[in-house]
Amino acid sequence: MKIHKYDTVIVGAGGAGMRAAIESTKRSRTAVLTKLYPTRSHTGAAQGGMAAALANVEEDNWEWHTFDTIKGGDYLVDQDAAEILAKEAIDSVLDLEKMGLPFNRTPDGTIDQRRFGGHSRNHGEAPVRRSCYASDRTGHMILQTLYQNCVKEGVEFFNEFYVLDLLLQDVDGVKKSAGVVAYELATGEIHVFQAKAIIFASGGTGKFFKVTSNAHTLTGDGQAAAYRRGLPLEDMEFFQFHPTGIWRMGILLTEGARGEGGILRNKDGERFMEKYAPVMKDLASRDVVSRSIYTEIREGRGCGPEGDHVYLDLTHLPPEQLDAKLPDITEFARTYLGIEPYTDPIPIQPTAHYAMGGIPTNVEGEVLRDNDTVVPGLYAAGEVACVSVHGANRLGTNSLLDINVFGRRAGIAAAEYSADHDFVELPENPAQQVIDQVERLRDSNGTERVTEIRKELQECMDANVMVFRTEQTIKTAVEKIGELRERYLNVSVQDKGKRFNTDLLEAIELGNLLDLAEVMAVSALARKESRGGHYREDYPNRDDVNFMRHTMAYREVGADGSESIRLDYKPVVQTRYQPMERKY
């Protein structure tokens, strides 16, 4: 075991982690621990764009953006945070441009903007061009630009280090963060990083679904580490299902495709979104479009031999426009489906895409351990966190924005904190929990296989807690996850070695997915209403009287060692926007 000491430690080198690192490295001695090489992070998969009311191509302002964010989140958004997001969006995009990001340009050389779902002029009048983009690889360009600037700033990375535990210590009755424990992939060695301030920026958790746009590595490690150490997870029942994933594969086809004029059609060729969202049509918010697609499928208007998908039709758009604005996604259709999007519509279905919930933070990125108390020295930003700027449903292009705005905020706040605080002493045997976990898995002769449990989990989640949920389906999921968690105790791995043991890490990642899936299902069961991404067929309406509040899920361990989930609730911060019915 090795012990390292840094002022600030950042877990994760995606957009949020690197944006934080650029700030924190200038101000404090910083280490970034990342399980992937920074440029492999899933921020690089983002396509469509980053929202900011630059008003480069038409009238726009940050207040409209704030409103759209709150409405898009079905009023579960904390309005003070949404206002910060929308206001700081403008500088955030300009900062990236100054760092070198090659945005697409308008004829007069400013940053070009395009339409995206749920973004409107003047509180819902008509779609507005607010998404700043670099072709259909905006996330790639953000990730590259941030990495380039990390190289420039000399940011210190520990690549292929898996953080598996968070160390908290009671100091005079106050729970403070002391460090993290990491597993080095190349050698199997365990490292303890003691730090004054820690930022979790470890991304999402989509891999508990089968059809997902998320990478294999998005397994919610950060959320799970915090949760196991007694910190709450907020709003985990809210997961976004993006309308247009490639049928059966889940690979994302950006909403930018509809922003450029693409149309969703059912098997009769009908533009069905006209029925469900007369104003915004194909550009209504994602939860609305995903439900509409499944309604078409359920009512027998789906496409293909099994009627289980619909089409994204780009055939009416000029090939030059597709080449210039959507080269990557048209290439995906060619590579993975063997079709030509110039002339063929693309088979699509909703795909599990984005975790609105996560580790609760305030607007400075400080992690909360209950409704109001922060954990001094602990921060979170990006998809792992819940500020909450996305509420019950995130608007497209607001996450690339979130990681930049709140990644930057967390980076500054953490470095300032470490500048005026001392190290918290490490607990005795700080790595014990990780050592035990690793050894148990490596030594186990159990009969259960990771692949089987993971497959059953993913199938269960797709079938029961996706776009449509009922008490019945969620209970089925809770029960099944419980059974899988039992079986997981008896899991073994084949690779017993130390070197690049990805077999072992997949087993650990599965443990995280199981914990988080359970939190998601239990939180969803208790929310007897429909709001944003959480749609209960047995409670189809939003219920502001009883559920205009954030879920806070805690892990409880009984005296006998038994685990359970305790749910609590936190009020939503409302400033100037009164909840209204959401229509598009």
Ligand X SMILES: Cc1cc2nc3c(=O)[nH]c(=O)nc-3n(C[C@H](O)[C@H](O)[C@H](O)COP(=O)(O)OP(=O)(O)OC[C@H]3O[C@@H](n4cnc5c(N)ncnc54)[C@H](O)[C@@H]3O)c2cc1C
Structure tokens at 414: 């953490």
CB 542, min distance to another protein, A: 32
Q: Using CB positions, name the residue nearest to ligand X.
A: 14
Q: Which option in another protein, ligand X, none does residue 48 bind, with CB closer than 5 to 8 A by kind?
A: ligand X
The number of CA neighbours under 13 Å toward the Cβ of 411 is 29
Exactly one of 130, 140, 210, 542 binds another protein (CB under 8 A); which one? 140
268 belongs to the binding site for another protein (CB under 8 A): yes
303 or 403, CB closer to ligand X? 403
Exactly one of 335, 445, 447, 578 binds another protein (CB under 8 A); which one? 335
Exactly one of 2, 123, 152, 576 binds another protein (CB under 8 A); which one? 152
Spatial contact of 357 and 394, defined as CB atoms under 8 Å apart: no
Exactly one of 295, 315, 371, 432 binds another protein (CB under 8 A); which one? 315
Bridge partners, 9 (sequence order): 31, 198
DSSP per position, 502-515 = HHHHHHHHHHHHHH
173 belongs to the binding site for another protein (CB under 8 A): no
111 belongs to the binding site for another protein (CB under 8 A): yes
Q: Which option in another protein, ligand X, none does residue 535 bind, with CB closer than 5 to 8 A by kind?
A: none
Rounded to the nearest angstrom, the gap between the alpha carbon of residue 178 and the centroid of all alpha carbons in its chain is: 26
Signed CA dihedral, 169, 173, 175, 176: sign only? negative
192 or 218, CB closer to another protein? 218
Largest CA distance in the chain: 69
Q: Which option in ligand X, another protein, none does residue 271 bind, with CB closer than 5 to 8 A by kind?
A: another protein
Spatial contact of 524 and 553, defined as CB atoms under 8 Å apart: no
Q: Which option in ligand X, another protein, none does residue 497 bind, with CB closer than 5 to 8 A by kind?
A: another protein
Q: Which option in ligand X, another protein, none does residue 393 bind, with CB closer than 5 to 8 A by kind?
A: none
Q: Which option in ligand X, another protein, none does residue 337 bind, with CB closer than 5 to 8 A by kind?
A: another protein
User: Strand 174-184 relative to strand 30-34: parallel, antiparallel, unpaired?
Assistant: unpaired
CB 283, min distance to another protein, A: 17
- Please identify every residue annotated as catalytic: 286
d(CA 495, CA 498) in angstroms, rounded, equals 9
Site string for another protein, 38-67 (x = CB under 8 A): -xxxx-xx----------------------
242 belongs to the binding site for another protein (CB under 8 A): no
Looking only at residues 383 through 442 of this chain, which bind another protein when binding is defined by CB under 8 A? none
74 or 136, CB closer to another protein? 136
The footprint of ligand X (CB under 6 A) covers 11-17, 33-36, 41-43, 45-50, 138-139, 162-163, 201-204, 213-214, 221, 252, 254, 353-354, 382-384, 396-401, 403
Q: Is 427 helix (H, G, I), strand (E, B) or coil?
A: coil
Exactly one of 336, 429, 436, 459 binds another protein (CB under 8 A); which one? 336
Q: Which option in ligand X, another protein, none does residue 397 bind, with CB closer than 5 to 8 A by kind?
A: ligand X
CB 471, min distance to ligand X, A: 30
CB 47, min distance to ligand X, A: 5
Exactly one of 363, 478, 493, 548 binds another protein (CB under 8 A); which one? 493
Candidate segments 149-157, 193-201, 254-262, 426-434, binder of another protein by CB under 8 A:
149-157
CA dist list (Å): 288 to 262, 293, 339, 383: 17, 9, 28, 21
451 or 564, CB closer to another protein? 451
342 or 577, CB closer to another protein? 342
d(CA 246, CA 442) in angstroms, rounded, equals 37
CB 467, min distance to another protein, A: 21
Strand (E) or helix (H) holding 26: helix 15-27
Candidate segments 1-9, 22-30, 492-500, 550-558, binder of another protein by CB under 8 A:
492-500
Q: Which option in another protein, ligand X, none does residue 306 bind, with CB closer than 5 to 8 A by kind?
A: another protein
373 or 502, CB closer to another protein? 502
CB 337, min distance to another protein, A: 4
CA dist list (Å): 323 to 167, 235, 341: 49, 39, 11
d(CA 465, CA 350) in angstroms, rounded, equals 13
Site string for another protein, 337-356 (x = CB under 8 A): xxxx--xxx-x---------
Spatial contact of 11 and 222, defined as CB atoms under 8 Å apart: yes
Signed CA dihedral, 432, 433, 439, 440: sign only? positive
Q: Is 583 helix (H, G, I), strand (E, B) or coil?
A: coil
d(CA 376, CA 423) in angstroms, rounded, equals 11
Spatial contact of 226 and 515, defined as CB atoms under 8 Å apart: no
Spatial contact of 158 and 69, defined as CB atoms under 8 Å apart: no
DSSP per position, 330-365 = HHHIIIII---TTTS-EEEEEEEEEE--BEEB-TT-
Spatial contact of 543 and 529, defined as CB atoms under 8 Å apart: yes
Q: Which option in another protein, ligand X, none does residue 573 bind, with CB closer than 5 to 8 A by kind?
A: none
CB 317, min distance to another protein, A: 12
Looking only at residues 208 through 227 of this chain, which bind another protein when binding is defined by CB under 8 A? 215-217
Using CB atoms within 10 A of its CB, is residue 476 exposed (0-12), middle (13-18) or buried (19+)?
Answer: middle
> Buried b / exposed e across 321-336, counting CB within 10 Å, b at 16+?
ebeebbeebbebbeee
| Residue 147 identity (one-letter amino acid) | Y
Structure tokens at 473: 């389906």
339 or 526, CB closer to another protein? 339
CB 154, min distance to ligand X, A: 18
| Residue 248 identity (one-letter amino acid) | R
Q: Which option in ligand X, another protein, none does residue 203 bind, with CB closer than 5 to 8 A by kind?
A: ligand X
305 belongs to the binding site for another protein (CB under 8 A): yes
